[in-house]
Amino acid sequence: MSRLATPIRKNDTVLVVTGKDRGKRGRVLKIVPDTNRLIVEGVNIIKRHTRPNPGKNVKGGIVEREASLHASNVQLVCPECGAQTRVGRKILGDGRKVRVCRKCEGVVDK
């Protein structure tokens, strides 16, 4: 299994920097590390035509859901300063390695 090249994790808030949804913010719902892609809440909405399946209790019709987008098309939003930022790493006094904002030096990890 390959490692995700970006320091973005599940439940992070990200900003889409390129593509049809440029400027939208959303929360990361899922990460697909093999293809370096992620699914962001409310971004890259597609229409999926589904067939009814009574066995799985699925109603048919047109369903709108989020599709994945490449991790290079988003930037992390710092929870402290609220700006889009690159991510640095820092080792705290108690030995924890945390992600930090490059602009305000605030800790991104909870």
pLDDT (average), residues 71-86 = 93
- Looking at the predicted structure, is the pLDDT value of residue 3 above 70? no
- Looking at the predicted structure, is the pLDDT value of residue 41 above 80? yes
Average confidence score pLDDT of the chain? 91
- Looking at the predicted structure, is the pLDDT value of residue 50 above 90? yes
Place of tokens 């892609």: 37
pLDDT score for 1: 43
Domains of the chain as residue ranges with CATH: 13-51+58-101 (2.30.30.30)
